[in-house]
Structure 1
Amino acid sequence: MKATAAEPGATGPGGDCSTHGSAPKPESTVARYGFIDALRGFALLGVLVHHVVPRVDGLPRVVKQIAAAGGEGVQLFFVVSALTLFLSFDSRRGTQARPLTAFFLRRFFRIAPLFYLAAVFYLWYDARWPDAARPSAAAILATLGFVHVWHPDWANRVVPGGWSIGVEMEFYLLVPLLYARIRRAETAVTAALVSLLAGGLLSTVVAAGLPRVLGTDPRAAGLFSWYWLPAQMPVFFLGITLYFLVRKRLRSPSAGRDPGRIRGRVLLTTAAYLLAAATISDLHLYLGHALFGVAFVLAGWGLSLCPSPVLVNRVTRGIGTISFSAYITHFAALDLAEGGLALAGTAGLSPLAALGMLLATTLGLTVAASLITYRLIEIPGQQLGRWFIAWSERRRLPAAGSAHPAAAGAGRPGTRPPSAPPDSSLQPEERDLDATKAGRAR
């Protein structure tokens, strides 16, 4: 899709930074921002590198360090999630009779259809190996209920990487309360610092106590103390901080070339420095985690001001569009790519050449599979969620009287009135269906 000046992700004259790149392009009732899709794309690429590199022996240490840092792509997903959910609340405030019901239905049908089918697929996939240990019925039920991350042995037992999906779903339960209570960036920063200290202390105690109390394997206990929600809350609060930094800019972008592009470049440069420092530094797990989170906030803020075409383009936005499907499918794609290359006789390649081939093959298979699952599973699941929301709204309206729900009161301080066009929910389930069918890139 060719970017235009009015389209999210586009740039100003000569490819320079311009607020046009951040301005929303209405799609029926919602708008989208290319830089957020690009952030999702980079998050997926980081996770992919993180899982591919350990499959290749003999790589330089710096490559392994980069791969280890790529695992923080999950935390970038969390930052973007908090940002988009708060923006979504802004855009929908006062427009629905049952906003909480609509929110939770939208969240459930955004995640559950693909996740449940992934559980079925990976149960079948793992069953092909006679020596593989089978997950217990309790682990399967906990996974389907999105509480699997609270058991040291269940976090990734059914769906690979499923711990992050469980954490995301648990965060959804807190979003309405956090949106109502956090009104300023300073509050979000304070919450991030408090949760960093409290979460780190609590996780350390749990990691040390589980092996003694429950006889849990120390390594499993350590992973559990990293996977569960308390350890991830600082990153979500940083995403909320990013929301306060960018929301005003996204609502009223200036036309033409903007001095904000200079500030955007400074923020992006600072973010790149912090990412490099966090990658090569041997920091304590939680300190490094926080440093990456700060870098992601600066990168998101910088891209909102200066969506450089090097970073925000058709490729990165496209990968971001299918990032949830890609996260689910890339584990199987990696196995398939590794097996295929082994059969092709690539054992004689240098480590870097082997890594390049494995990365390219895995990415290609992941994108191909994800385009299918996105269109055949994610979008129909989102349509079903919309149907349930509409049904719930129809049931509510007679009891609410003739007044439109938007007339219930003024909006959140600092937000637009409900009568104005919504800002952006920025979630794939909330894009216009006709535009989706037309194949418009996210």
Structure 2
Amino acid sequence: MQRYAFLDSLRGIAILGVVMTHVGQSVAGLPPYFAAFTHFGLRGVQLFFMVSALTLCLVAREDNFNPIQFYLRRFFRVAPMFYLAAIFYLLCPKLFGISFASNEVWAVDAITTFLFVHGFNPHGINNVVPGGWSIASEAIFYAIFPWIVLSLALSRRWVILTVLSFAVAFANAAIPSVLNIVDASWRDFFHFNFLTNAPSFATGILLFLALKRVGPKSENSRVAMIGSALVVSSAIAVSFLSDVLPGAQLFMVPALGGVTFVAARYEWPILVNRFLSFFGETSFSIYLVHFGVLHWLIAVAPVIGSSAGQFVILYVFTLIISAFIGIICYKCVERPMVKIGRRIGDRVAECEGARKKVMAPPTVR
């Protein structure tokens, strides 16, 4: 599969933001504006969803798309590392006396997580693997992607579907407040479930259609610089709404879509570079392991200086250690499993093609 530098860089931005948020949540006493900025990093998950949708659309071909091949490749891309993380976090209470779950982990939580259907389980959507709610939304998106491939040519339909996804997401995010739901599991469920995240995926598909229409990337560096600066500034400005309005994270989706479009169209070095691409290439493993790394650092690191200083030290070391482990996981687990999935998927596609060829009626001459 062809690699796009801007996609890896966007994933790098996303994982840097996610780690920043979790480090910020772990440091007490941060100045209000500093804390708000670290909270902005949580929008990196939305960026992950957007980039995921755009990536799959870029590599999918409607004329020879094979759903079974697609599912096999996605399974071997996600499942091996995710299962290792799930086993590790499930064993943490017994091995280290540490629990990363917000509630008691029920058997159904573990079962639905390993089956990738925990997105429908309010108690277990984020209870086995920290951050596992995002994998739940990805799994639902993968499930419907074959239908998406068949409808990619219908641009107007996707404009309408994207608008509808925003309306549904806002309604879904407002349910806890409207119904006065106080149970933490249910409140988290409405915040994390697929309906709330659907606009990010839909926007990624719209970006694919837009980029396809405008053609190859532009070499106009001045436009790139001005456009990137405006879009990034708007994204940061909108981020401060996150603590003011319910569902305000949805306001970030168009801003993140602008960042993604600028990165794809102009490849401005501030948005697309080797540093970001390095973190983007190993972002999946970093995402899964950084929770454990952060917890360990908090336990062993001495408290020194101001809260802002503590944040910087904790953030840097969490990134370094998580990236080191992420590289090992990427080379020893992710990449080999991806190759196996590709071989199995290609073999299945070949067998399916041969079967269709044999079953095809003879040509009448």
Higher helix share: 2
The 3 A distance-change label for structure 1 pair 131 and 86 is closer
Total equivalences in the alignment? 356
**Equivalent residue number for residue 148 of structure 1:** 118
String of CA shifts for 1:286-344, please: whole Å, max 9, x gaps.
2x3232111111111111232222332111001000011110011011112222313xx
Contact 1:263–1:305 under 8 Å retained in 2: no
Aligned to 1:142, the other structure's residue is in SS state helix
Q: How far apart in 2 are the matches of 1:389 and 1:378?
A: 16
Q: Please give the secondary structure, in 2, of the residue aligned with 1:285.
A: coil
Corresponding residue for 2:63?
A: 94
**Cα distance in 1, alignment partners of residues 98 and 335 from structure 2:** 36
Q: Which residue of 2 aligns with 1:395?
A: 351
1:384-419 Cα deviation digits (max 9, x unpaired): 21222133134224323289xxxxxxxxxxxxxxxx
Unaligned ranges ≥5, structure 2: 360-365
In structure 2, do the counterparts of structure 1 residues 154 and 296 end up closer, same or farther at CA, with 3 Å as the change threshold? Answer: same
Please say if residues 274 and 291 of structure 1, whose CA atoms lie closer than 8 Å, have aligned partners that are also in contact.
no
Cα shift at 1:359: 0.6
Question: Does 1:53 find its partner at 2:14?
Answer: no
Residues 285 and 207 of structure 1: CA distance in aligned 2, closer, same or farther (over 3 Å): closer
Preserved contact between residue 149 and residue 228 of structure 1 (Cα < 8 Å): yes
- For residues 361-372 of structure 1, what are the structure 2 equivalents within 5 Å? 361-372=317-328
Secondary structure at the counterpart of residue 60 of structure 2: helix
Deviations 1:108-141 (A, max 9, x none): 1111111111111111123345585651211110
Match of 2:307 among 351, 360, 363: 351
Among 201, 209, 222, the residue aligned to 2:187: 222
Q: Which residue of 1 aligns with 2:37?
A: 66
Q: What is the CA-CA distance between 1:88 and the residue it aligns to?
A: 1.3
Which AA in structure 2 matches 1:163?
Answer: W
> Are 1:85 and 2:56 matched, yes or no?
yes
In the alignment, what sits opposite 2:148? 178
Contact 2:170 2:250 in 1 (8 A): no
Query: What TM-score results when the alignment is normalised by the length of structure 1?
Result: 0.75
The question of whether the paired residues in 1 share the 8 Å contact of 2:174 and 2:246 is answered with: no
Q: Which residue of structure 2 lines up, in the alignment, with residue 233 of structure 1?
A: 198
Q: Distance in 1 between matches of 2:107 and 2:252?
A: 37
From 89, 107, 114, the equivalent of 2:81 is 114
Question: What is the match of residue 136 of structure 1?
Answer: 106
Partner Cα separation in structure 1 for residue 252 and residue 198 of structure 2: 14
2:8 is aligned, of 37, 56, 59, to 37
- Work out whether 1:297 is the aligned partner of 2:268: no
Deviations 1:211-259 (A, max 9, x none): 5xxxxx5332221101111111111111111111223556x457xxx33
Query: Which residue number in structure 1 is paired with residue 363 of structure 2?
Result: none
Aligned to 1:311: 271
AA of the residue aligned to 2:246: L
List aligned pairs for 1:314-333, cutoff 5 A: 314-333=274-293
Whole-Å separation in 1 of the counterparts to 2:147 and 2:42: 29
| 2:97 maps to 1:127 | no
1:398 aligns to what SS in structure 2? Answer: helix
In structure 1, runs of 5+ residues without a counterpart are: 1-29, 212-216, 404-442
CA distance in 1: counterparts of 2:154 and 2:346, whole angstroms? 32
Do the aligned partners of 2:239 and 2:249 also contact (CA within 8 Å) in 1? no
**Contact 1:149–1:167, Cα closer than 8 Å, also in 2:** yes
Q: Is the 8 A contact 2:92 2:98 kept in 1?
A: no
CA RMSD of aligned residues (A): 2.4
